[in-house]
Chain A
Amino acid sequence: MKKIRIIIYLCFFLISLSVHGLTQELPSNQECRHCHSNPNLKKVLTDGRVISEYVDFDLFYTSVHKKQACVYCHIDATNFPCKNLRKVNCQRCHYKGNLAGAPDLIKYKEYGESVHGRATALGDVKAPMCQDCHGSHYIFDKADTLSRTNKEHIPQTCGACHVNIYSVYKISVHGEALRSKHILAAPSCADCHGEHNIKEHIDPKSKVFLTQVSVTCARCHANMELIKKYDIPVEPVETYRESFHGVAIKFGAKTVANCSSCHEVHAIFKSDDPRSSIYVDNIPKTCGKCHPGASENFAKGKIHINPAKKEAGIIYYVSQFFKYLTLSVMLALIIYIILDLRKKLIVKRKGEE
């Protein structure tokens, strides 16, 4: 009996030992917190950069991943001290049909074809992956103002890498409206460049490819609701498409102006702002980019002209003159022809009788 007792004790011991061993292999969040709640925890990278390894656990517990354990993502963090961890792969949970219940709307395919995805695939370590835009520990729904992908925060998110562009964008009319005036209808980076499907501007599929610029701008600048609400100049896109610039670009001309050729790409300002490329004094320089030797004569007259409207000034009257001239002349000629044919028919009938 003693032997049996010893064996049973031994079994309990072994079982408890193995259970203990299993739980030890997956450290709990509490264990990570021991070190990572220290704001001064830092790491020196091989290239000399110093990055913080501090995690704000209180903030993390309000994020969408609040119920996840650290080790679910940092799967290689099994030993202490956890050194040289690899970058987290979001696809471990976020794939179609996953059992963890993670959202599967992730646009990996669009991302893979985008300029960022391609660079990543080619081994560019600077190219952004999911966590570079969406954040790592503090991911929130994009409606949440804490989210990095919240509309108002997108410029900063992109600006983390695209510093020069961000510094220009934030003072532009679009950046001011979005960031200072909190007008959510104003475009962030993603509204013009796309989100996961960002392409280079020389890619014909890009939303900012030279033939696509007017389409992209038109989403807001030909939207009557927005135009009325924010007092944006009426019909710039329509008049552009009617102009020779618009017609030429439509039929494949490569060296013709699109919206951003004149209004600038990111440094877009109102026309009465001296910083604007279309401020009256800057027009010769702006037009001169394509029309060498453009003088101040280029600024004497409106640019976006709709000849059917009175605002077009003298163009309106020229257009009206020709409209009525054409109508009246054609009407008179057609009436004459009808009378002539009618008379010929009468004469012919009489002749037969």
Chain B
Amino acid sequence: MFFSKKKKELEPKVSLDKLQGEIEQEIWDDLTKDLSLTPHLKEEIKKLVKERAREELQKELKDRYAELREEKVEIPPLEEKKKEEVMYPRLSLDIRIQHIILMVSTLILIITGLPIKFHELAWAKFFFSAIGGLQVSRILHRVGAAGLIGIALYHLLFLAFSREGREIFRELLPRPKDVKDLWITLNYLLGRKREKAKFGKFTYIEKFDYWAVYWGMVVMVLSGLILWFLGTALRIFPKFVADIAKEAHSDEALLATSAIIIWHFYNAHLNPEKFPMNRSWLTGRISEKEMEREHFLEWVEIQKQEEIVAEKADEGKVEEQKG
């Protein structure tokens, strides 16, 4: 039993057919090199060749198995152990905490907000009765809002006053290259070109995600504050401003939620390359494989720098020896 199992793995059916095809082709080429044949004769010869090839293949296989049986060849295990991959840092702890706060706040806001927008659906009623009433939901929504506004302000300070923040912001600024990358990728996806776009630290997908949050944040926070402090707002603005705020809040909420569910979930979770999820948001690191595939230019840059550092270190050693 043990052996027969191995045998099957060694000679899968696909490769057997392929092998037979190859042998047939070989014999056929040999036979018909300098001949011109009638179609009828061609068919007959083809048949003969097929039989011949099968015979030869069987013979060959028998011989090989006999050899294996005698030698008891050790067969290497099919799955090689994965080598420990080199990991590169991608998200600092600061950024990871910012992302988690943003995520939690947004989830609270979506969960407590959507039932108001879709109040006619049965689950809205179920939700409010489950959570303990509309009032509880409203308070939770404001807790979420406070988290969102807080993290937005913190992020602005982070961008302005930390070195890391300034560097990242510079990298995140949209450039003509992003449009070019998108164009290249679309051509690649449509099969028009074979080359893939090569990305730096941030792909246009990540940049889109980032700036979409900016747009959403401005709309949601401004309109949300008007609705939160309606009395105060109406002392300054006429009522139609509050109506616009309500409409925008409701509509942008749907846009943001759809974007998260469709776009962010695809890129971070459901994409076959990431499934079940891109773990960078927890580990803060990225594998070399992903680095090469998604941030090739950054990867090259890092390697160059490493070489420079290594060279310098070598020079240092040499100098030391000289010294």
Contacts and interface: CB of A to CB of B under 8 A. Distances in A.
Interface of A: 244, 247-248, 250-253, 291-295, 297-302, 305, 307, 313-315, 318-319, 322-323, 325-326, 329-330, 333-334, 336-337, 339-344, 346
A329 B259 contact: yes
Given A252-B133, A318-B244, A323 B251 contact: yes
Nearest to B208: A333
A342 B246 CA distance: 40
Contact of B272 (A251, A294, A336, A344): A344
A343 B116 contact: no
Contacts of B116: 244, 247
Contacts of A329: 255, 259
Interface in B122-146: 124-125, 128, 133-135
Contacts of A342: 189
Contacts of A336: 189
Contacts of B273: 344
B238 A297 contact: yes
Contacts of B266: 337
A171 B238 CA distance: 32
A339 B190 contact: yes
B239 A251 contact: no
11 contacts: A244-B116, A248-B134, A251-B124, A251-B125, A251-B128, A251-B134, A253-B134, A292-B231, A297-B237, A326-B254, A326-B255
Contacts of B230: 291
Contacts of A247: 116, 119, 134
A313 B239 CA distance: 13
B251 A326 contact: yes
Give the interface residue-count category, chain B: 35 or more
A329 B190 CA distance: 20
Given A251-B134, A301-B240, A326-B251, A339 B186 contact: yes
A8 B293 CA distance: 134
A293 B239 contact: no
A343 B191 contact: yes
B27 interface: no
A125 B28 CA distance: 118
A54 to B, nearest CB: 59
A251 to B, nearest CB: 4
Residue picked from A251, A295, A302, most chain B C-beta under 10 Å: A251
A315 B239 CA distance: 11
Nearest to B236: A297
B234 A298 contact: yes
A38 B239 CA distance: 66
Nearest to B190: A339
Given A297-B234, A340-B189, A342-B189, A322 B240 contact: no
B231 A326 contact: no
Contacts of A252: 128, 133-134
A318 B191 CA distance: 39
B247 interface: yes
A315 B255 contact: no
B243 A295 contact: no
A84 B310 CA distance: 121
A330 B128 contact: no
A295 B235 contact: yes
B255 A293 contact: no
A253 B135 contact: yes
Contact of B239 (A248, A298, A319, A346): A298
Nearest to B219: A322
Interface string B174-207: 0000000000001011110000000000000000
A94 to B, nearest CB: 43
Contacts of A291: 230-231, 234
Q: Top 5 A-B pairs ranked by shortest CB distance?
A: A300-B238, A301-B240, A322-B251, A301-B239, A251-B134
B262 interface: yes
B119 A250 contact: yes
B258 interface: yes
B46 to A, nearest CB: 25
B234 A322 contact: no
Contacts of A343: 188-189, 191
Contacts of B188: 343
